[in-house]
Structure 1
Amino acid sequence: MDQTPAILPELQSLRNSIDNIDAAIVHMLAERFRCTQRVGVLKAENDLPPADPAREKRQVARLRDLAASAQLDPDFAEKYLAFVVREVIRYHEAAARELAEKSAG
């Protein structure tokens, strides 16, 4: 006997939840990047380097611990953070260039 019809309402419900979670993730990432953009401006204004390896190391350890406690693969969490940090540093470098160009001009 085919059980597909009985499974479909649950499947749709799960997909709806996934869609809601994806929307929440996008909004949280947007807020995170708004904050890191401000950090980039502050770093540029105060002549601080775009990257902070010591903080990044602490963040990796923190995220790995959080992932483990949430039953998420810590390697996946670290890869996520590495991607985000690369984007943040790219923005911080751009902010520093922009400030330098404004100061020179």
Structure 2
Amino acid sequence: MTDAHTTRPGGDTPDPVTRAAALLRGHRESIDRLDAILVFTLAERFKHTQAVGVLKAEHALPPSDPAREADQIARLEDLAVQADLDPEFAKKFLNFIIQEVIKHHEQHQS
């Protein structure tokens, strides 16, 4: 049986390769769980932005709100700093999402 507790022949020390494989597997399992969280979180976010798009269309509001978008980007950059995430990456990520939301809002306008 090979797992993180496998020892080398004649010793009590775990085999470094087996230990590394177990650590790698653990990190990958965490990444997979986090990816699922991201997907479900984005889906929930887009449900709300779709509802906003419908409201904007019903009330003849523009699909884009540059002031809100700028506030959101600044807020996300602050959160990124707090989370020890590259704020430039966070900004690019949110800009991508905002562009997708605007496209959806424009579709509701048609």
Task: Name the TM-score, length of structure 1 as normaliser.
Answer: 0.89
Q: Hey, what does 1:23 align to over in structure 2?
A: 36
**Higher helix proportion:** 1
1:75 aligned residue = 88
Q: CA deviation at 1:82?
A: 0.4
Unaligned runs of 5+ in 2: 1-14
Question: In the alignment, does 2:56 pair up with 1:43?
Answer: yes
Higher relative contact order (CA 8 A, sep 6+): 1
Counterpart secondary structure, 2:98? helix
Structure 1 moving runs of 4+ over 4 Å = none
Structure 1 unmatched ranges of 5 or more? 98-105
Partner of 1:58: 71
How many angstroms does 1:3 deviate by?
2.5
Pairwise CA distance, 1:4: 1.9
> How big is the shift at 1:22?
0.1
* 1:37-80 CA distance string (max 9 Å, x none): 00000000000000000000100110000000000000000000
